[in-house]
Every structure is written in structure tokens, then in C-alpha cells.
């Protein structure tokens, strides 16, 4: 293993441990407020893109996780979830999933083309892709964020890859005050595969 691979592995391990340290308040918010709203907009077999430590996998049955961090994937597997390490092409046939979700993932990717093409490929026709991205306060909070998506930029970016936005909402609720001050505040959009 060369020096770059070792550093990358150390960063992934560090990020995995960071995810495991989420507060009980954050977990409560996800389980009681966020996940019920997200789940009501998903259908059938769902792919959790960037599943992290499996929080959504534990909430929603009939959901499969993928992640580029092998520590996260191994942790999810230890918990009994179906999860896959995907450093490149995803191990699924075309038209496999009814829905997919990317919750606070897209802003970590400099160039979203591959992840959006793969999302389109694995979704069934009229399948839903839900994407959540942080508002300004949350975007500025994390040094690992690479691209800020306004509501308009998110729609325009995703629609370029064969999707049509069918819904947009704010979490926990629409508020300009919270958008600029609350790091957990996010924009969510639901897209249908054309």
C-alpha cells in the first residue's frame, strides 16, 4: 500500500468514527422527524446512496446501502444490513430499484456526473431519486463539502441526467432564519426518472 492509499484509508477510518459520534439529539431528529418525511416519499425497493453507518437502513426495510467508505460498509454488514462497497461501478442491473436516496452526499462530490448516471441506470422507469443537500449554514460547517447546491442549482444539475423534479421541501421546515443559522437545515428534492 503506497502513502496516498494509506492516507486515504486513514481519512476514511476517521470519517467513519466521526459518523459514529452523532449525538442522541441528531438521532432523535432523524428517527422522529426526518426519516418519516423522507420515507413517505419513497416507494418499493430503495437504494441508500452513501449509506454511512446505516441509520436509514435501520429505519426503512427493503433498503440496500452503498458507500465509498469500506469502514461504513463493513459496519453496516456487521449490523445485518445489505450494503456494498462501491469504489466505482455499482453492482446492480439496470432498472433494479423503485427509489433511491442521497441524504447529504452530493455536496461531497466535486463532479456528480458518475453518481447521477449510475442513479439513473439502476432506477426503474418513473423511479424516484430523492436528494438532500445542506443549506448555507450546514454547507459552511463541514470542511469536506465541495459544491454548494442552491435549490435552483440542484434541480438544474439533476435534471441534466434524465430526471424531472416533482417535489421540493425544506427540513425541518421552511424558514429563511433557520436556513442561514442551523447546520442541520437541508433542501430536499424528489426527482422522477424519465
What is the DSSP code string of 107-118? GG-S--HHHHHH
Question: How does residue 6 score in pLDDT terms, banded at 50, 70 and 90?
Answer: low
Domain count, the chain: 1
Give the C-alpha separation, 157 to 47, whole Å.
20
Question: Domain with 76 in it: what CATH number?
Answer: 3.40.50.150
pLDDT recorded at residue 43:
97
Give the C-alpha separation, 131 to 155, whole Å.
10
Question: Average pLDDT for residues 168-176, to the nearest whole number?
Answer: 95
pTM comes to 0.94
Q: Which domain holds residue 14?
A: 3-193
Question: Average pLDDT for residues 12-35, to the nearest whole number?
Answer: 90
pLDDT recorded at residue 22:
83
Question: How does residue 89 score in pLDDT terms, banded at 50, 70 and 90?
Answer: confident
Residue 84's Cα: distance from chain center in Å? 14
Which grid cell sits at 97? 430499484
DSSP3 helix / strand / coil % (the chain, rounded to 5): 40, 25, 35
Give the C-alpha separation, 34 to 24, whole Å.
14
* Mean pLDDT estimate for the chain: 94
Nearest to 145 by CA among 169, 109, 187: 109
pLDDT digits (tens, 9 = 90+) for 122-157: 999 999 999 999 999 999 998 889 999 999 999 999
pLDDT recorded at residue 2:
64
Question: Average pLDDT for residues 37-54, to the nearest whole number?
Answer: 97
pLDDT recorded at residue 46:
98
pLDDT recorded at residue 1:
62
pLDDT recorded at residue 142:
85
CB 104 within 8 A of CB 67: no
pLDDT recorded at residue 87:
85
Question: Average pLDDT for residues 28-42, to the nearest whole number?
Answer: 95
pLDDT recorded at residue 3:
61
Amino acid at each position: 500500500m503506497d502513502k496516498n492509499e494509506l492516507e486515504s484509508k486513514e481519512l476514511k477510518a476517521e470519517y467513519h468514527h466521526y459518523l459514529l459520534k452523532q449525538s442522541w439529539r441528531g438521532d432523535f431528529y432523524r428517527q422522529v422527524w426526518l426519516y418519516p418525511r423522507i420515507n413517505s416519499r419513497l416507494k418499493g425497493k430503495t437504494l441508500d446512496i452513501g449509506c454511512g453507518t446505516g441509520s436509514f437502513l435501520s429505519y426503512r426495510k427493503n433498503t440496500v446501502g452503498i458507500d465509498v467508505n469500506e469502514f461504513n460498509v463493513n459496519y453496516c454488514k456487521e449490523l445485518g444490513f445489505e450494503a456494498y462497497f462501491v469504489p466505482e461501478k455499482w453492482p446492480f442491473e439496470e432498472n433494479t430499484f423503485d427509489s433511491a436516496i442521497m441524504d447529504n452526499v452530493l455536496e461531497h462530490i466535486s463532479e456528480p456526473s458518475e453518481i447521477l448516471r449510475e442513479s439513473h441506470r439502476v432506477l426503474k422507469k418513473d423511479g424516484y431519486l430523492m436528494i438532500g443537500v445542506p443549506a448555507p449554514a450546514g454547507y459552511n460547517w463541514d470542511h469536506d463539502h465541495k459544491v454548494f447546491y442552491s435549490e435552483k442549482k440542484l434541480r438544474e444539475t439533476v435534471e441534466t441526467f434524465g430526471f424531472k423534479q416533482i417535489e421540493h421541501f425544506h427540513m425541518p421546515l421552511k424558514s429563511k432564519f433557520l436556513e442561514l443559522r442551523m447546520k442541520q437545515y437541508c433542501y430536499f428534492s424528489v426527482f422522477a426518472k424519465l
